[in-house]
Structure 1
Amino acid sequence: MHGLVSRDLLRDRTVFVSGGGSGVNLAIAKACASVGANLVICGRTEEKLRAATNELEGCGAQAAYAVADVRDPGAVAAALAVAADRFGPIDALVCGAAGNFLAPAERISSNGFRAVMDIDLLGSFHCAHAAFEQLRQTRGTILFVSGGQSQMPFLHQVHVAAAKAGVDQLMRSLALEWGPYGIRSNSIVPGPVNGTEGMRRLAESATEEVWAEMVPLGRFAEPEEIGTMAAVLISPLAAYVNGAQVVVDGGMAMSGSSAFNRAVAAAAPAS
């Protein structure tokens, strides 16, 4: 991210990232670290969080982690208390913890559907709700990590579609309701991103060539490209951006999901 924006863009600001131990969320944390932010990340696996914190410190950031499952509001509140104790009230919250898998709607269990709703949607609410008082003090910002499934249907993604659509409406509602406190709320919608766990799972049915067919730019995003846009949306450069769904997908939303759907249908076992 260096060379694109000032290294001091987020100097002395504290960013809390749920699901920050890996993937796109870690890329967002690294981008924020590279421009001066303090970072606190949370997730369920301490080993992963410890390694990610070391990476963030390698970017020159002051960083800490807290083990927390976003489905547990008490654990989320405790993780945010760690952030406040270490750095003071947070300036930005990134709600990134998510789950995904391919499953036909007629076969997915209630528990499977609920798991994704609980992590993506309820977990985002828990984080935002627990962070409110800190964000009110700093007139801070919330960035939700959404997905293309909130905009258009993908085969075998009914659970994710419902969860991400809910996340975007949660974002819009908070932008309206908490705007008077000076709290901005936005969401970022990444397209296919190299090297992430979500892409590894989806690639079992839809190859890189299929995704490239769907994306007008003809390639996956690099994690740093998503991280850079996220850092800008968190920063004062976006001080008047509120209630926006910012799509960073190489144009995929314009071409639709038909290529993906054909690949998934072809790979699906017979009923």
Structure 2
Amino acid sequence: MFRLDGRVALVTGASSGLGVAFARHLAAAGARVAVAARRTAMLERTVAAVEEAGGTAVAVTTDVRDPEQCRLAVEGAREALGGLDVLVNNAGIGSAVPATRETPDEFRSVVDLNLHGAYWMAQACARVMEPGSSVINISSVLGLTTAGLPQAAYSASKAGLIGLTRDLAQQWGPRKGIRVNAIAPGFVETEMTEQYHPDYVAGVIRPRLLVGRFGSPDEIAAVGAWLASPAAGYVTGQTIVVDGGMSIT
């Protein structure tokens, strides 16, 4: 029930961090994987990592903020790999700007990529997906709680993804047979968290981590592979929080 043999997955934001981990884990479970992002050279590294592990992957350079590029990415994935059964909506950016100083363009740029981009890609996929398919939106623990930094745009976009997940699940489950869920990762060891000041990590974040450490990309990606698989066939409209206990402290 945990295998994805014969399935095709599309992972956005797959040029680094969590996106690479999602691509590797889906391929390890048997899926053929299309990886999408704006940085073509980085995508090719992801393809190489999947292929070196024995999987099948193709790169589709895409800016998810553009609905037409999303449509073309879906078309490219289907042509190259023979279908489309799983979407991992992982593309996103962070921000840390005080709310009284944040400009309209700064706020809009985060929401446009993190929320609008996820919607355009989900829309493009749902138009061609068959019953039994799965959409997985990557939200954040910061869509549920705060973490001491001024992150209005990021938090709003990630909270929006949780609401979007519920609505798409109720629209597409009965009509299309598509399950839609979200993952809300906590603080994970990626390029983004490497930029945090040590005092912030030690004084604000670590005291709220009940497991005493940051998570790994593999721990988040394993949940994604489960949600994509038949083992999660009775799960839809849910946000799975994978945060080391931070959201309850």
TM-score range, shorter chain: over 0.9
The unaligned stretches of length 5 or more in structure 2 are none
Matched, 1:90 2:71: no
> 1:144 maps to which residue?
137
Offset from partner CA, 1:28-55 (integer Å, 9 cap, x none): 1111111111000110011100111100
Q: Distance in 2 between matches of 1:144 and 1:208?
A: 29
Q: Distance in 2 between matches of 1:200 and 1:145?
A: 19
Q: Which amino acid aligns with 1:254?
A: I
Q: Secondary structure at the match of 2:128?
A: helix
Q: Distance in 2 between matches of 1:73 and 1:208?
A: 41
TM-score by length of 1: 0.87
Cα distance, 1:33–1:206 mapped onto 2, change above 3 Å: same
> 1:261 maps to which residue?
none
Match of 1:183 among 178, 183, 189: 178
The unaligned stretches of length 5 or more in structure 1 are 256-271
Cα distance, 1:22–1:89 mapped onto 2, change above 3 Å: same
Q: Distance in 2 between matches of 1:29 and 1:232?
A: 13
> 2:55 maps to which residue?
61
Q: Which amino acid aligns with 2:134?
A: T
Q: Distance in 1 between matches of 2:54 and 2:211?
A: 33
Matched, 1:232 2:226: yes
Offset from partner CA, 1:145-167 (integer Å, 9 cap, x none): 00011112343110011101111
Q: Which amino acid aligns with 1:184?
A: R
Match of 1:211 among 205, 208, 218: 205
Q: Distance in 2 between matches of 1:65 and 1:39?
A: 9
> 1:173 maps to which residue?
167
> 2:238 maps to which residue?
244
RMSD over aligned CA atoms reads 1.5
Offset at residue 244 of structure 1 (A)? 0.4
Counting matched residue pairs gives 247
Q: Is the 8 A contact 1:90 1:138 kept in 2?
A: no
Identity %: 34
TM-score by length of 2: 0.95
Q: Which amino acid aligns with 1:55?
A: A
Q: Distance in 2 between matches of 1:249 and 1:233?
A: 17
Offset at residue 205 of structure 1 (A)? 6.6
Q: Is the 8 A contact 1:128 1:142 kept in 2?
A: yes
Cα distance, 1:205–1:175 mapped onto 2, change above 3 Å: farther
Offset at residue 218 of structure 1 (A)? 0.4
Q: Which amino acid aligns with 2:111?
A: M
Q: Secondary structure at the match of 2:215?
A: coil
Offset at residue 207 of structure 1 (A)? 2.4
Q: Distance in 2 between matches of 1:201 and 1:144?
A: 24
Cα distance, 1:217–1:70 mapped onto 2, change above 3 Å: same
Offset at residue 222 of structure 1 (A)? 1.2
Q: Distance in 2 between matches of 1:10 and 1:34?
A: 9
Q: Distance in 1 between matches of 2:180 and 2:245?
A: 23
> 2:95 maps to which residue?
101
Cα distance, 1:10–1:204 mapped onto 2, change above 3 Å: same
Cα distance, 1:23–1:249 mapped onto 2, change above 3 Å: same
Q: Distance in 1 between matches of 2:179 and 2:185?
A: 19
> 1:48 maps to which residue?
42
Cα distance, 1:218–1:20 mapped onto 2, change above 3 Å: same
